[in-house]
Chains A and B, each alone.
Chain A
Amino acid sequence: EAGVAQSPRYKIIEKRQSVAFWCNPISGHATLYWYQQILGQGPKLLIQFQNNGVVDDSQLPKDRFSAERLKGVDSTLKIQPAKLEDSAVYLCASSLQTGVGEQFFGPGTRLTVL
Chain B
Amino acid sequence: QQQVKQSPQSLIVQKGGISIINCAYENTAFDYFPWYQQFPGKGPALLIAIRPDVSEKKEGRFTISFNKSAKQFSLHIMDSQPGDSATYFCAAFSGGYQKVTFGTGTKLQVIP
A→B interface (CB under 8 Å): 4, 40-45, 55-56, 91, 93, 95, 98-103, 105-108
Contacts and interface: CB of A to CB of B under 8 A. Distances in A.
A105 B91 CA distance: 14
Contacts of B43: 4, 91, 93, 105-108
Given A4-B43, A106-B43, A108-B43, A40 B105 contact: yes
21 contacts: A4-B43, A40-B104, A41-B104, A42-B6, A42-B89, A42-B102, A42-B104, A56-B99, A91-B43, A98-B97, A99-B95, A100-B97, A103-B46, A105-B43, A105-B44, A105-B45, A106-B43, A107-B42, A107-B43, A108-B42, A108-B43
A45 B98 contact: no
A55 B46 contact: no
A4 B6 CA distance: 27
The B interface is mostly helix, strand or loop, or mixed, namely loop
Interface of B: 4, 6, 41-46, 89, 91, 95-100, 102-105
A98 B42 CA distance: 23
B105 A42 contact: yes
Given A105-B44, A107-B41, A41 B96 contact: no
A102 B97 CA distance: 8
Given A42-B91, A91-B43, A105-B45, A99 B97 contact: yes
A82 B71 CA distance: 38
Contacts of B99: 45, 56
Contacts of B100: 45
Nearest to B42: A107
